[in-house]
Structure 1
Amino acid sequence: MKVKRIFAPDMRQAMRRVRDEIGADAVIISNHRVAGGVEVVAAKEEDYEMAQAELKRSQKKTRPAPSPVSSQDDALAAELRRAKMRIAEARRKAEQPQPEVSQVVNRQIDTEEDEDLRFILQSLKTRQEEQARKEHDHEPFIPDDLWSDQPKHQPREEADDLVKTMQQEIHQLRKLMEKQLHQPSYQSSLPVTPQSSYASYSPIQQRLNDLGLSSGLIRQLTASLESELSEEAAWKNVLSRFADSLPVVGEEYIARGGMIAFVGATGVGKTTTIGKLAARYVLQYGSSSLALVTTDCYRIAAHEQLKTFGRILDVPVRVVDENHNLDEVLLSLRGKRLVLIDTAGMNAGDPEGIQQKQMLASVSVRLKKLLVLSCSSQRQLIEKAWSNYQELDLSACVLTKLDESGSLGDALTLAIEKRLPVAYITDGQKIPDDLIVAQRQDLVSRAVVAAQTSGASDSNYDDTNPIFRAG
């Protein structure tokens, strides 16, 4: 017999593998819990029946053949004893007090799993009914050792009554099994998956979902939470994990100097961010060591805003065009301590976008690249921006338009999952005031307050706790 031993984290996955690997006619030989999940032993029904028949034939060869009367008597007595034991066990379980449905928090059976279990039960019921019909076709014999005070050969009517009694008890056993299948106590006794250990933290997961975090990040943050923690203690624990997982630069990025290119989609605030950083730098270090560069020659008057910043701050502004390539412009500005480069926002698949990426990648000077992401953009746009520019070896990112966004979760999820440090955040149009060096606790606080302000879950947040305040 071809027996398949299948290991899986839970019964649902085990049954799916049995059905996929063996087929719908599979017979479950045994199942029990093991470290890390469940073990199911299964085989095809035809193989199982052939193996059973072969076993019976081999047993007949190795032992004396019993008389027909005694063999059938023994089988009937054994079946009766087994039926009585199963009925007693089923009744004992049914009489035990059942927990309230609301208390069963680790329920592991969903609609698909119910169908799998019903499939097993129906298969067992069908085989039992066929076996009962086969036994009913033969003339019954009464075991000699059931009642010592009865004569050896009972009348035909008493034998029929005994068979009917057995059939009624077996039918009652089946009904009890079907009833137990749909009881919470039966479902909660099934193997528990790792995910079920988070069932008591569903309010915590809902709060994180309200922040706009991805499901994968939520599972990561709620993994291995201590079960004895209260909801508020668990919430603070999760927020602390959230803050620890955020990659940030943590210091004034432009203070290091160098040549920094700002890349990103159109309209995310690259030019305005450069203006804020340039104004901040001039206030601290003066204008003599700063220069601005723009590669955006595709839009009409695209470089005029940057030139306006240059005139106000008294810093030179260079334009990259068909007469002056980027490498030549940057080499001419090697004497400047800080060079901020504004780029055109384009689709990376467009010819102009491909040309611009090649230009940024081919310069002979050391160039740092910051990805500018708008927090008001949808998750798909944020992920697309990362996909378009990741090949440029991005150094960090800038999160803009926090004042226009109802959620920071999408941008923070990307920063964590892609390990892209956050250098700055911007939350307004004022230059240079509305630009802040990114800090972990501040980002988490802003994410919580943004979710609260948008009305995601008004009752879940506590304004009196410092960790929930923005800034």
Structure 2
Amino acid sequence: MKVKRIFAPDMRQAMRRVRDEIGADAVIISNHRVAGGVEVVAAREEDYERAQAELKRSQQKIRPVAAPASVPAEDALAAELRRAKLRIAEARRRAEQPEAEVSQAVNRQIDTEEDEDLRFILQSLKTRQDEQTRRDQVAESVEPENLWATVPAAEASENDASGALVQSMQQEIHQLRALMEQQLNRLSAVPEVPVASSVSPAAPLQQRLQGLGLGSGLIRQLTASLESELSESAAWKNVLSRLADSVPVIGEEYIARGGMIAFVGATGVGKTTTIGKLAARYVLQHGSSGLALVTTDCYRIAAHEQLKTFGRILDVPVRVVDENHNLDEVLMSLRGKRLVLIDTAGMNASDPEGIQQKQMLASVSVRLKKLLVLSCSSQRQLIEKAWSNYQELELNACVLTKLDESGSLGDALTLAVEKRLPIAYIADGQKIPDDLIVAQRQDLVSRAVVAAQSDSAESDPLSSGQFFRAG
């Protein structure tokens, strides 16, 4: 039965992949949650039913064998003899494995010398069993009138013969055990031949995913349960498709929903510029009457001036939160606006000012959406620190900026997948409002591959074409 394991961010996407890759007659065998989504095991219905029928037929062929009520001494010894022979056969089988070529000479010596001893012992046992059978036949042929006279003599003869047979079989079993111990001792003296380590078929894919800058946990998740029969090119496409399915995105114009949106993040990640791009886009589509801009950054004069410049150009009001006007009062005064974009101060969230700002954002009485702005040019530690600083605000989505300055998208994509933080927009330049687009899964993965290709070409122009092949 051909079984497929399918990974997706949620069950709805998993079912869609099951229908696309297996068909409408697919049977779900199992499903469970994994890091970053769900994993579904499915198969074609006819394959599943055929496997179930075959399992039932194989179970019907198995019949339990009842153990005898009492086992004679000869049968117990014969059983012990069989077990000893099985142990010797198992020892021979291990000795004959092709990966230990050094032990072949020892195996041949055991075959030529000890097989003769085994055949002799078995032949002796067979002869004694034949003699016992003949004695039984003679006892059955005695006439009834002479039966009583022969019974005591027969019993005495039988007891003597049985005792001798038992003693003989015990001696032969001891000989078999001695032979087995001798053989095992010889095998233990044979030096082990090291087995060449095999390279996992997923290793090349993992190396290429590392080139994209993805985290190790996400790489293991993407390469888990890959079909072994896939070619490298097909496996690479499969892995990229899994990556695209696992990246959470908003997938539509986020500001079109309206509301009050606060942009948070570290200093210099592009919060103010992103607000300017979104404000210009909104004015071009809906006009300026329904838009207002707010800044809580009362620590930098330049931040006020930049946002006020945007306000003058776009003809929209700009409000400043300071000691005379708190954030809740300013937002309450702008309840009539359809969209309010809030610029915040970029500072360490563990500093007193940063703690105060987080408390201010969390305590407003109006419904406030929070978008985390992440610079793709930042190191992984800074991106993870930004998430850690602001996650308690219950972030709704994120914006990835400075793609034009970054050599890798892997760190930001890894964070989005592992933290299940949807990506709303990506910014790849300073032009307002052009260099800002709605995030799409396939586009993000394509950009990640192109960025890795460009970075590889700059570091090693001769090998870049070999590392990321087409497909």
TM-score range, shorter chain: 0.5 to 0.7
Could you say which residue in structure 2 is the equivalent of 1:444?
Answer: 445
Q: Which one of the candidate residues 89, 97, 119 is aligned to 1:93?
A: 97
Cα 1:217–1:83 shift into 2, 3 Å: closer
CA contact (8 A) 2:404 2:428 kept: yes
Could you say which residue in structure 2 is the equivalent of 1:175?
Answer: 189
Give, in whole Å, the separation in 2 of the partners of 1:408 and 1:88.
57
Taking the TM superposition and a 5 Å limit, the aligned residue runs for 1:20-99 are 88-89=92-93, 91-94=95-98
Give, in whole Å, the separation in 2 of the partners of 1:288 and 1:83.
90
In structure 1, list runs of 5 or more residues that go unmatched.
1-62, 64-76, 99-143, 149-164, 189-195, 466-471
Give, in whole Å, the separation in 2 of the partners of 1:234 and 1:369.
38
Cα 1:324–1:87 shift into 2, 3 Å: closer
Cα 1:97–1:444 shift into 2, 3 Å: farther
Could you say which residue in structure 1 is the equivalent of 2:317?
Answer: 316
Deviations along 1:287-317, whole A, 9 cap, x unmatched? 1211111000112433111111111111111
The residue identity in structure 2 corresponding to 1:374 is S
Could you say which residue in structure 2 is the equivalent of 1:458?
Answer: 465
Three-state SS of the structure 2 residue aligned to 1:303 is helix
Q: Which has the larger radius of gyration?
A: 2
Give, in whole Å, the separation in 2 of the partners of 1:347 and 1:95.
60
The residue identity in structure 2 corresponding to 1:313 is L
Deviates more, 1:302-311 or 1:263-272: 302-311
Give, in whole Å, the separation in 2 of the partners of 1:146 and 1:211.
68
The residue identity in structure 1 corresponding to 2:452 is A
Deviations along 1:19-68, whole A, 9 cap, x unmatched? xxxxxxxxxxxxxxxxxxxxxxxxxxxxxxxxxxxxxxxxxxxx9xxxxx
Deviations along 1:392-432, whole A, 9 cap, x unmatched? 11111000000111110110111111111100000001111
Deviation at 1:347, TM superposition (A): 1.1
Three-state SS of the structure 1 residue aligned to 2:342 is strand
CA contact (8 A) 2:269 2:401 kept: yes
Cα 1:399–1:85 shift into 2, 3 Å: same
Deviation at 1:92, TM superposition (A): 2.1
1:211 paired to 2:212: yes
Could you say which residue in structure 2 is the equivalent of 1:234?
Answer: 235
Three-state SS of the structure 1 residue aligned to 2:192 is helix
Deviates more, 1:415-424 or 1:218-227: 218-227
When the two chains are superposed, the root-mean-square deviation of aligned CA atoms in Å is 3.8
Deviation at 1:359, TM superposition (A): 0.4
CA contact (8 A) 2:272 2:303 kept: no
Three-state SS of the structure 1 residue aligned to 2:294 is strand
Three-state SS of the structure 1 residue aligned to 2:273 is helix
Three-state SS of the structure 2 residue aligned to 1:450 is helix
Deviation at 1:278, TM superposition (A): 0.7
The residue identity in structure 2 corresponding to 1:173 is L
Identity of paired residues, percent? 77
CA contact (8 A) 1:86 1:173 kept: no
Give, in whole Å, the separation in 2 of the partners of 1:147 and 1:250.
82
Three-state SS of the structure 1 residue aligned to 2:97 is helix
TM-score normalised according to structure 1 size: 0.62
Three-state SS of the structure 1 residue aligned to 2:303 is coil
Deviations along 1:343-368, whole A, 9 cap, x unmatched? 00111111101100010011111111
Give, in whole Å, the separation in 2 of the partners of 1:95 and 1:315.
79
Cα 1:424–1:258 shift into 2, 3 Å: same
CA contact (8 A) 1:83 1:170 kept: no
1:355 paired to 2:348: no
Cα 1:183–1:301 shift into 2, 3 Å: closer
Could you say which residue in structure 2 is the equivalent of 1:419?
Answer: 420
Three-state SS of the structure 2 residue aligned to 1:369 is strand
TM-score normalised according to structure 2 size: 0.62
Taking the TM superposition and a 5 Å limit, the aligned residue runs for 1:244-255 are 244-255=245-256
Give, in whole Å, the separation in 2 of the partners of 1:88 and 1:257.
78
The residue identity in structure 1 corresponding to 2:456 is G
Deviation at 1:331, TM superposition (A): 0.9
In structure 2, list runs of 5 or more residues that go unmatched.
1-72, 74-80, 103-119, 125-178, 458-463
